[in-house]
Structure 1
């Protein structure tokens, strides 16, 4: 079970594990805003120093290179500025993640593999728009925005803390015949012509305390808004483009299609070999027996009768083999009674005892998924029976809903055999891996020497409907 859980986590939780470790506790309401204040304050207070350093470094290197663009060394300075901009932009993404914002998918920097030549590697940033956007962010936009957000952060925090604590420390500061009192200006503006007689020092302390309390109450909203401003800018300039996501998806679909074609070709070749080595040979022998019967029917009826019995046995064995092969296309029990019953029937035919656990969570599977899951389970059981030298096998099939990751069905076969299983090219597990990848799934093999062996196939699917719903 630990192997199953870890592999499932690797499949659908490779990023969520990191997110859980870095993200703040998920709360709701005003308390959640206050819980994120320390991180957001740390992010905002460091924003301007980092932005100023970025501006100084990038502008110095870039304009130096621009000045020498007509000689060779200028190109290297500009490339250096682009790579430095990439570094500062990556730092901004890390800081935003640390501040509690959802992760921003970075661009795909490596596009053509590692076989590029020197000049092609050097000049690659010139034709990659992401580098120029990172440079724009680090040299122009972020410094301007950071100065504003940093100033607001410092001013808002100072007013909040100063107003709340002013009544403690302001008594030690001499007033020096002060004539201007801010609370009087506010009172005259709110209540024109008032005749309030308030001690100026007490009035000023109360006004500052109320103002500090107001700023303190609004502080989480201000910090969140300023952090969101940086987050929005970073998503627009530093994140990957939708076209890149589509490009990755197209590549994955092409790879899945290629794996499916290869798996189908291997299946057809295996079926052709099985037909040639089995039913075809028996039919050839049956044809020869019938010819011999025809020759001996009048001369030696007893011998003909004996050959007829052998021919009948040949026909029966041929029919049994054809039925077995037909189960490789679409097992009748799978179509008639469903996946769970088909898997139990599959386990009963195994020469090694098989424990079956099926939990489909009342999800209706598409017919192609049911058929492929049956084939995968059959192949895994056959592999364990033939090669594992096991005395017990456990087959577990279950579905799970991973939310945004969609629905998945997991097929696990665990045996207590000798272990050492691997997806060797040209062998059963390699072909099974191609079949699973053709379904946009994943095959996990955990088979240390000496056993036990756990092999899991994880396949995504779209449920047709939930039984009992319209």
Structure 2
């Protein structure tokens, strides 16, 4: 797939046979007089039961246990390093060495905080928005040295790393050790309990609890009672272990979110900047499409209609003088009228087709694939609960149409694939081919226009092009 040579952003690859069929009004899907298509019933979402959710907790439990174990010694190391460096810097500020020690402690706290965020993300917790370090960074040696002093995030990272993290980690580590010891030790008591020496000084817990509670002698052997008690307690602790680890790792996450995450004002500012970029991209894309449409109409149908008017005027002058020449002129005029009509129909394919409005994006992509000159396989994996807005469907359709145009014109591909699916990031559209590759972005042309269109939707576009073909993936948020 290679970038198109013309600045067309919404071309639609159509085979001659299919185009002729559409012009004759023979399309069963897009014809004006056809009956509405049957609407398929989507399966209702199935709610997960308790055991399925419980099983998912166990999937993340090993990672949560590992991260909770690691955070405690890391907190000790961080506090042991940051406190001496920071307070030594405070004491030596007057001889200027302290300034560099203070800066070093702030940068070290930032590094430790970022590593903690990565650990929490590895444990399966949602990602915490990072502070805008690059946007707030100051340039030059002086800016890098004194910049952290004016940035509140550095001080919050230092507070977290040297003060807050250690007591929180002591709490989570202690609860985790208690739960693991009680669960594993109790459930395996039948293995190691027989190796514990027993004499008259031993206290049998089950027997003691029975006698002090019911004030009667226990009706069971002391060893058997302890075996049953330890086993039941161990099973209960093991059963509740994933709930406990999820709660402990969530506590760590909440503390980190409060001190290490970006502020709401920064997130709002970022959204405003993204909206400004999206608005600018949308305006640029719209202006580009209008200029393309104006140029195509001027160079195509308008010239044909001017020539048609001249031919008709000439025919009127010759009608009484040379009927044969007049007939030839009228035949040529009819041909030019048909050519102008064909060009107008080709231009109108830049607008959303009726099938997109009637049956949705999946059906429109299938129709697009059947009209392509290159064999295309369409794979759709949309969630039953996901609803795409008409604007989003229209833009994704145009993106797919433009990419298929690139495949047909430049890729020399034997096959192409369109994949449409939804995930946590939003809706993604991938068009891949097995052609010669070498796709490049040229300002003002096809791939650049696609990126502008996607940016206007606050999405991203990725291009991978090698000797084995080209794949373009577009990801757009649903909200």
Determine if the TM-score, normalized by the shorter chain, exceeds 0.5: yes
Q: Any idea what the Cα deviations from partners look like across 1:253-299, whole Å, max 9, x if unmatched?
A: 43333333322222222212211211122223233334444554566
Structure 2, unaligned stretches of length 5 or more? 1-50
Q: Is the 1:85–1:135 Cα contact (8 Å) retained in structure 2?
A: yes
Aligned pair partner of 1:322 in 344, 350, 360: 344
**Aligned mates of 1:385, 1:332 — CA distance in 2:** 23
3-state SS, counterpart of residue 377 of structure 1:
helix
1:66 is matched with 90
1:112 and 2:108 aligned: no
2:297 is matched with 275
Q: Is the 1:166–1:208 Cα contact (8 Å) retained in structure 2?
A: no
**Aligned mates of 2:234, 2:381 — CA distance in 1:** 52
3-state SS, counterpart of residue 112 of structure 1:
helix
How far apart are 1:50 and its partner, in Å? 3.7
**Aligned mates of 2:410, 2:59 — CA distance in 1:** 60
How far apart are 1:32 and its partner, in Å? 5.9
**Aligned mates of 2:340, 2:113 — CA distance in 1:** 69
Q: Is the 1:443–1:456 Cα contact (8 Å) retained in structure 2?
A: yes
Q: Any idea what the Cα deviations from partners look like across 1:325-363, whole Å, max 9, x if unmatched?
A: 22223445655676566556655665x354464758688
**Aligned mates of 2:253, 2:460 — CA distance in 1:** 34
Aligned pairs (5 A) from 1:411-422: 412=431, 414=433, 417-422=435-440
2:421 is matched with 400
1:437 is matched with 455
3-state SS, counterpart of residue 421 of structure 1:
coil
**Aligned mates of 1:298, 1:269 — CA distance in 2:** 44
2:307 is matched with 285
1:83 is matched with 107
Q: Is the 2:210–2:217 Cα contact (8 Å) retained in structure 1?
A: no
Structure 1, unaligned stretches of length 5 or more? 1-25, 463-470
3-state SS, counterpart of residue 135 of structure 2:
coil
* TM-score, length of structure 1 as denominator length: 0.68
1:54 is matched with 78
**Aligned mates of 1:418, 1:50 — CA distance in 2:** 51
1:139 is matched with 162
Q: 1:251 to 1:33 in 2, by over 3 A?
A: same
Q: 1:358 to 1:297 in 2, by over 3 A?
A: farther
How far apart are 1:83 and its partner, in Å? 1.8
How far apart are 1:369 and its partner, in Å? 3.6
* TM-score, length of structure 2 as denominator length: 0.67
Aligned pair partner of 2:147 in 120, 124, 127: 124
3-state SS, counterpart of residue 322 of structure 1:
helix
Aligned pairs (5 A) from 1:22-421: 29=54, 36=61, 40=65, 49-69=73-93, 72-96=96-120, 100=123, 102-105=125-128, 107-112=130-135, 116-147=139-170, 168-169=195-196, 190=212, 216=234, 224=245, 227-297=249-319, 302-332=324-354, 334-335=356-357, 352-355=373-376, 357=378, 359=380, 366-390=389-413, 392-394=414-416, 396=418, 399-402=420-423, 404-406=424-426, 408=427, 410=429, 412=431, 414=433, 417-421=435-439
**Aligned mates of 2:473, 2:345 — CA distance in 1:** 28
Q: Is the 1:388–1:417 Cα contact (8 Å) retained in structure 2?
A: yes
**Aligned mates of 1:344, 1:328 — CA distance in 2:** 17
3-state SS, counterpart of residue 125 of structure 2:
coil
3-state SS, counterpart of residue 410 of structure 1:
strand
Q: Say which structure, 1 or 2, has more relative contact order (CA 8 Å, 6+ apart).
A: 2
**Aligned mates of 1:413, 1:170 — CA distance in 2:** 70
How far apart are 1:67 and its partner, in Å? 2.9
